[in-house]
Amino acid sequence: MCLNFKSRRREPQKSKQCVCPELRRYRHSTPAHVFHTPGFREKYCSVHIKTWEFCFGITRPITDPSTSRPVALRSAHDEVKEIHKYKVKPTTAQCRMMPLDFVFVIDSSRSIRPSDYEKVKTFISNLLQFLRVAPEHTRVGLLQYGSEVQNEFSLNTYSTNAEVQRAVKSMQHLATGTMTGLALQYTMDTAFTEEQGARPAELLIPRIAMVVTDGRPQDEVEDIAAQARQAGIQIFAIGVGRVDMNTLQSIGSEPHSEHVHLVANFSQMESLISVFQSKLCGERDMCEVVNHRCEHMCVSSPASYRCKCRSGYVLNPDGKTCRAEDMCAEVEHGCQHICANIPKGYECRCRPGYQLTIDNKTCNQIDYCDLGLHKCEQDCISIPESYICKCGKGYVLNPDKHSCRKIDHCADGKHGCEQEFENTEKACVCKCKKGFKLRPDGKTCQKIDYCEKYGCEQESVSTEHSCVCKCRGGYSLRPDGKTCKKTDHCAAGAHGCEQEFESTENACVCKCRTGFRLKADGKSCQSLDLCRTVTHGCEHLCVNTNDSYVCKCFEGFTLAEDGKSCKKPDCNSGVIDVVFVIDGSKSLGPANFELVKQFVNTIVDAFDVSRSGTHVGLIQYSTKVRNEFSLDQFSSARDVKQAVSRMQYMGRGSLTGSALRHMFESSFSPLEGARPNVQRVSIVFTDGRSQDDVSEWATRAKESGVIVYALGVGKAVEQELKEIASEPNEKHLFYTEDFGKMGEITEKLKETLRICKVDQSQCECENLMLFQTDVNEKLKMMMKNIEALTKKVKLLENQDSRR
């Protein structure tokens, strides 16, 4: 036994631990189970006691604890050999251990000399000798770091011990800085991921990281190491040389006595082999040995354990108790209405009457009317979780809560009208018969005197519907219908007009019949219709020009080379007004809507879009009708196709009847560019049943001369398509089952239309001729007015001279 003395007195005092200085120094490099071996400390102390004074005067000899007999003092060399019998040497035999995911984190900074770097590699190789490396047993990865992290191999790189040994042997020294925190961050974020070979956390395979360093880190390690341990990584920290013990303890797991080791130099690292062999090879289940106090689960690992919580719970800061995982409270969930916790996360939910949008966070009110199931005869109003039907002005809801009936304000007979009455939206209104007007009381009638304030100059006669002014003898009524003028300048018959004459206010003016024009003499006439006065030889039409004529053909024919006869072309006239009516309901879907836009642009390419050729307009409809562009908006196919490409998908209901009404009443109106005497064509596209009646407005459009082509895809109803399309159906109705076959419809429609290209030069020539004719007519009329004015001036001069 080694004795401890408080003073130099030779009175011994027993101590539980030997305080010999040499033993203290050796403690750091000796495995725990060797250090506490019976007799070890006594033998070690005796080696270094060369004189009785070394331990301050031991008064009795050292005894062998196994025999209780005195042990003779031997030389220091002999006793050191005896001590080494107690040290556990590395073994090449693999021990029995639980499967591990084991990652070496090696300091490769410039402060480590090349010879010491080789010792680190030897230490790793010796430690690997008792690890059973295999995919189903222990997986090994290794990274080294300096100023940057270099991953040498991952957990799934090698599957045998020999492959790992070769990889360790081929490692190259980085010799840069000491970024320990960066290496720990990489270990947590990358090395222990399933992509790098770490097994899923639910398998409870211990994750071990062994950090070997020789200096002070150049970055922050404490917080990162704490995060790694919180993530379930068990960290062994090995310091060599002058490493700060506080730094090692901030890295290593608890308890530090099991996970933190400091040796004086790289040569002493070999002494740790047996320490880790006992830790890693031990078959003890720490969860069964210790009172772990884990609330949910205890997970054993080499020389330690950790607490873990069930799914849906997280570990409290005490590392033992668990609390329910409230993800809604811990994250910025962004839910507009309700955030609900679910296993492994959360989900956003909406209040009743709302539905989640595509971003899975915000909510939109459900439009129950838009579902098309309400059966309301007139108006549908969407309310939370349902809908209600309402009627327009002048109507009331029937007891069935869906249909409406008109309010008859006159039915009770209390209107008091003298002559007639009419039921309006708000009341019963009295009316009077023709020739009568309603008095201020709103009920009785009085006869209308149209001449009371009419303003006739001479005489007036009140008729049933108006007032007629008359003039006395010798006067005639002027064109204003109220004033009178005296004398008829043409009555004397001395006007000399060849054809017709007209008495104006101050003179008798000669005129020509239709087809003639007045000559410069103001009396005789010249024929304007050369087509009637000459043998023109035109097969179809003869058109007069300024001093000549030209032959023209009926619509659908072209003029032959002789300029007189006509022939029928192989294609239809390119001068047409075309309006596309496109279904934009939600049943179509955004992807198919893009196909429909492509279809429209393909058909547009078949037309001769120009100012004098084809004009194109387009409307899109769902529950409403939207005019995308009118007939007079674009004059080229390129502009039309660009406008089609910019169309936005409406995506709601399908009111085809309303769209047909808009096409008939608005799209083909002069206000939106429809041209007179030009063929009108409408191409209607739909993919499903209409929510309103299509027959009425389709019939009215066709009766007005519009040629309607009906194109249906998918769930389009054949009967509706027949009601929409012009006769015969086989030329004006096209259908296919899916959008993938729309190309077939396109080709059939283009073949049916067969549009001719307009000869622009011919149009320009005709326009120029018409312009010249109009100018000549206006010039001649102006000359005639000048001549008449000259005559008046002369007449006035003659009158003045007579006076």
- Residues 110-138 have pLDDT tens digits of 999 999 999 999 999 999 988 899 999 99
pLDDT of residue 52: 30
Residue 436 has a CB neighbour count (10 Å cut-off) of 16
701 exposure class (CB count in 10 Å sphere: 0-12, 13-18, 19+) = buried
Buried b (16+ CB within 10 A) or exposed e, 565-594: ebeeeeebbbbbbbbbbbbbbbbbeeebbe
Residue 788 has pLDDT above 50, yes or no: yes
More confident residue, 544 or 637: 637
β-bridge pairing 566-567 and 149-153 = unpaired
Q: Count Cα atoms within 13 angstroms, Cβ side, for 186.
A: 23
pLDDT of residue 316: 86
Region 289-294 average pLDDT: 74
Torsions phi, psi for 762 (to 5 deg): -65, -40
Element (H, E) at 346: strand 345-349
Per-residue pLDDT tens digits for 318-338: 888 988 778 888 788 999 999
513 exposure class (CB count in 10 Å sphere: 0-12, 13-18, 19+) = exposed
Residue 29 has pLDDT above 50, yes or no: no
Give me 169's structure tokens.
């042997």
The percent of residues in the chain predicted with pLDDT above 70, rounded, is 82
Following DSSP, what letter does each residue of 434-447 receive, concatenated? Answer: TTEEE-TTSS-EEE
Per-residue pLDDT tens digits for 250-285: 999 988 988 999 999 999 999 999 888 877 775 556
Per-residue pLDDT tens digits for 137-175: 999 999 999 999 999 999 999 999 999 999 999 999 999
Per-residue pLDDT tens digits for 699-730: 999 999 999 999 999 998 999 999 999 999 88
Torsions phi, psi for 297 (to 5 deg): -135, 150
